[in-house]
Every structure is written in structure tokens, then in C-alpha cells.
Amino acid sequence: MAKFPGIKGIFFDEDPLIEQSSKGVNGIGIPDCGLKKSDLRKDESAYIDSKYIRKNPPGLPEVSEPTVVRHFTRLSGWNMCVDTVFYPLGSCTMKYNPKINEKIASLENIKNLHPLTPANLIQPVLKIVYDFNNILCGLTGLAEFSFAPQAGAAGEFAGLKVIKKYFELKGENRKTILVPDSSHGTNPASSVLAGFTPVEIKTGKAGTLNAEELKKFISKDVAGIMITNPNTFGVFEKDIKKIAEIMHKNGSFVYMDGANFNAFLGNVKVSDMGIDLIQLNLHKTFSTPHGGGGPGSGALGIVESLREFLPIPYVKKTAADKNNGKNTSNYDKDFNAENQVYELSEDRKNSIGKMTPFLCNFAVLIRAYAYLLSLGRDNVGSVSEIAVLNANYVKKKLDEILSGSDPFEEGLCMHECVFSDKAIEEGGISTIELAKLLIDYGFHPPTVYFPKNIHGAIMIEPTETESIRTLDNFIKAVKEIKLKTKKSRAAKSPQKTKVGRVNEVLANKRPVFKS
Ligand SMILES: *Cc1c(COP(=O)(O)O)cnc(C)c1O
């Protein structure tokens, strides 16, 4: 049996950079620009309008390059990340991101591309966006994707705006979006932001939405349903086709929150389930580093009838396409100014409008594209197969340790499994204590206290990139914690981290950035 990774690293004491500052120290050398301060302030011939000129220096730390590098390199080791530990944070799909994606997104002519470069000079780049869209359409069975939304929740918002605009044009004023209680928290929030009223539907004991229950909520005021599938219990909505039929009969739409697409990738076309709109979180399923508020992409896919409403601009194939859509390998010949095949178009008269300053978070799209191409059509399905297998392995093994805590003991889960705190509570340990103790064992905690309708929820998403050795090790740690941990130690955990247990409420409300 493998050893727990544990935490025994070297921790240095670390002052904030601002306290390491010495006047005049500089990390970079910039050649003199030949301008004097007084030139800037000259009123009529000013290079910069005087109202924009600072009165005082910005108060940045004045430090050398090695000071900066050491500071951030050391700090990075105080935290957990997918490159160092197992990271089973439910609903977040913290899979390992292959480094090849990063390498391709960092190629000079991709990384340094100016977003205002004219379309005729970036034909290969526009081809990537166009082709990537086609791949996603192939994987989902939908008609087109927009890459304008820069996060999953932004994709939901855009999708709901599309629905709103559709009904406005029809002259119907439908105000309700149905949201089962098994949906992600962003779903009702996005509904409100888009100008709808979310109406909650309770799910049954099986953790899924019952089609008969849904019928009670149907009226001509219902614009659509937002359904997270697999839902936040990690369970497949098995009535989904019936649900879609009921909605369509009422002239309403089915929006699927597809952030959990890792459970389906390469094996399920959502069009077969009757889905009209979906957002795919490229930063989750399609292997882009995320968390910490970095750039994301909530690519919004729609059925043919909603195409005209998608955000602008978008990549369009022009009439000048002399290859008749055939792929060709001769980039130099095919991509020249005379033979412009792709353009950035704003030609969509019923578009919901612009959502981003330019086209999309391009580097996220490149990573996702590289990820899919490196897997290939034949292997892409193994992602979801192994993700589901791994989650069921963890569910089965933890069922034995946390007996009575599995709300859905019957049946299989999809990409993640959820437990209540019933079994650990009996041993005097709370969910938050289990989470903190796992850090000392060298594992990132699972998602905790979500979904809200499961008492003290512990939500585990192992993803497909983990080996059975890692999973066994994690299961063993949970077992040890449950059997051997005393309440007094649990309350003080984590103990091996640089910063121990913090008062979470105070840390949020009154953060202290200076030591
Ligand atoms: C992560 C997630 C979201 C939100 O995605 P963001 O990119 O964080 O906005 C929405 N729904 C589900 C099911 C998710 O897991």
C-alpha cells in the first residue's frame, strides 16, 4: 500500500513583498525614453492629458527579480494544486491538465496575437475557432457554439438571454424558469439576472426530477427549465427525454447546465436527450487550469432554431471559400488575403449582443482544442468512462466506511458521489473537520456542505486522471480519520500546513494581508 503523500515540506517565513521593499530597487531595466517629467505635464503639447498623470507613485513594492521569484515560488508551495495532490473537489472537475495544451497555447504566434489583427491576416486562427466549434457540435449534436461567455455562469446567462429574446420576438411574455433543487446554485441566480423568475421543483428520494412532478408546474408562463445533468448529486436525470417532451409540448426550452459534461464526453449526444441549449465549461471538462478566478469559457451551444440569437462577433465562413469546405493541409496557399475563407462577422440581426471585448478567451479555447485533438475521436469517450468508473469505485468503497451516509445507496453515480455527515458525526467529527484533516494527509478536500439539501454534504469528484493507487490511498485516509481521529485533534486541523486553522468568517470579513 502506498504511503499518504502527507505534508512535510520546507516552509520559509515570508514577509509580504511590500515589507521587503527598499527605495530604488528595481527588477527590470528599461532604457531611458528621452522624455522628462516636465514634458508630460506641458499642457498643450502634452503626451498624456495632465488629468491622467499620477500625483504620487503607485506604492508598489520596490524589489529585485530574485526577491520576486523566490517570494512567489515559496508561496506557491503553501497551497494545494492539481500538479501536486489529488484534488477531488466535487462539481469542479479538477483533473490533471496535460502540459502539451499549455505548450500549444504558449506558441509565440498564438500567445502574442493582437486581438485587433484584421481577419485576413489570421485565417489559420479563425479556422481553429471554426473547427473547434464543429468538434463541439459533433460531440453534442447541437448546431453551433458561441465562445463569448467567459465562465460557466456567463454561458447560463447568455443561454437564458437567448430564450428571453426568442419569446420577445414571438410577442410572448413568459417569465418562469423551472429549476429542480438538484441544480447548481448558479442556475436560479442566472435566471434572476436574465430577468426570469426561477421556480424550484423538489426532487424525489432517488435524487432525480420526476416527469410526473414536473407536469404540475407547467403553464404558458414557463419559458424553460434549467436542468443540471448529471445533477449536483452526481446522478443522471433518467427522465430527461420525457422532461424534454413535456417542455417542448408547452413551447418551452430545455437548458442543460453542462458543466458536468465530463460524465458524458464522447459517449452521449445531448441532442438525443432533447436538449435545446447547453453551456460546456471548457475550463473543467476540456482540461484548462482553473480555480482562483482565472480565465474560463462557458461555450454556449444551441439548436438550429436559436442560431440567430447567439452573441456577436462570431467566425463565419465566407463565399470566398474555394475549397468548398474541404480540409486542406496547405496553409500558405489557402490562407492568403485574396482567398479569405473566414471572417469575424457581426451579421446576426437578432443577436443578444456582445459579451466580451473581443471574440473569446482564446487561450482557453486553444487548450481545449489541443486536448481534444491529442485524445482523438477514438479515445475521447474513455475520459467519461474512466471518470464514471472512478467515481463509482470511490462511492462503493466509501459506502462501507461511511455506512448509512450515502443518500443514494441504490444505483450508480455518474462522475461524482455525495455523502452526508451521518457516519462521521457519530464519531464526533464534522464535515469541515474531515475536510481539514484530509489536508494533513496530503489530499485537497472534497466540496463540502454542497448540495445544501444533503446534511453536512461531502461531494467527491475523482476525475479520470487518477490511478487506483491514489483512490485507494484517499479511501484509506478517510477510514483512518473516521476510526482514529480524536475530536480534540480534529478541531485543530490542519496542523501541517504553513497556516493552520483560520476563523473562516473573520478571514472573509476582515482579511489581514500584512503580518
Ligand atoms: C462550475 C459549475 C458552474 C459554474 O461555472 P463557472 O465557470 O464557475 O461560472 C455551473 N454549474 C455547474 C454544475 C458547475 O459545476
Whether 103 maps to a domain, the answer reads no
From first to last of its 515 residues, what are the pLDDT tens digits of the chain? 578 888 877 888 888 899 999 999 988 888 888 877 776 666 565 677 777 878 898 889 999 999 999 999 998 888 899 999 999 999 999 999 999 999 999 999 999 999 999 999 999 999 999 999 999 999 999 999 999 999 999 999 999 999 999 999 999 999 999 999 999 999 999 999 999 999 999 987 888 999 999 999 999 999 999 999 999 999 999 999 999 999 999 999 999 999 999 999 999 999 999 999 999 999 999 998 887 777 899 999 999 999 999 999 999 998 665 555 555 555 555 555 566 899 999 999 999 999 999 999 999 999 999 999 999 999 999 999 999 999 999 999 999 999 999 998 778 999 999 999 999 999 899 999 999 999 999 999 999 999 988 999 999 999 999 999 999 999 999 999 999 999 888 999 999 998 889 888 998 899 887 65
309 lies in a domain?
Answer: yes
Distance CA 383, CA 285 (A): 9
Beta-strand ranges (E) seen in 194-351 are 197-201, 222-228, 253-257, 277-281, 298-302, 314-317, 342-345
61 is a domain residue:
no
Which residues contact ligand 1 via a Cβ below 6 A?
91, 151-153, 184, 186, 228, 257, 259-260, 281, 296, 298
Residues 411 and 315 in one domain: no
Establish if 105 belongs to a structural domain: no
Last residue of a domain, one of 356, 375, 394: 375
Number of separate domains in the chain: 2
pTM over 0.95: no
Indicate whether 425 and 335 sit together in one domain. Answer: no
State the residue for C-alpha cell 461531502.
458
Q: How many CA atoms lie within 13 A of 492 on its CB side?
A: 6
Same structural domain, 386 and 297: no
Q: Is 120 exposed, middle or buried (0-12, 13-18, 19+ CB in 10 A)?
A: middle
Domain of residue 405 covers: 380-498
Closest residue CA from atom 2 of ligand 1: 259
Q: Which amino acid is at 455?
A: H
- 393 in the same domain as 357: no
Say yes or no: 395 and 366 in one domain: no
Residue nearest to atom 8 of ligand 1 (CA): 152
E strand or H helix at 61, and its extent? none
Whether residues 439 and 339 share a domain: the answer is no
Q: How far apart are CA 399 and CA 405, in angstroms?
A: 7
Three-class SS state of 261: helix
Same domain, 364 and 402: no
Cell triple for residue 488?
480534540
- Structural domain contains residue 402: yes
Gap from CA of 259 to ligand 1 centroid (Å)? 6
Q: For the chain, how far is it from start to end, CA to CA, in angstroms?
A: 41
Q: Does one domain contain both 363 and 489?
A: no
Gap from CA of 361 to ligand 1 centroid (Å)? 17
Q: In the 8-state DSSP scheme, what is residue 20?
A: G
Check whether residue 163 and residue 176 sit in a common domain: yes
In this structure, is residue 198 part of a structural domain? yes
Last residue of a domain, one of 375, 396, 420: 375
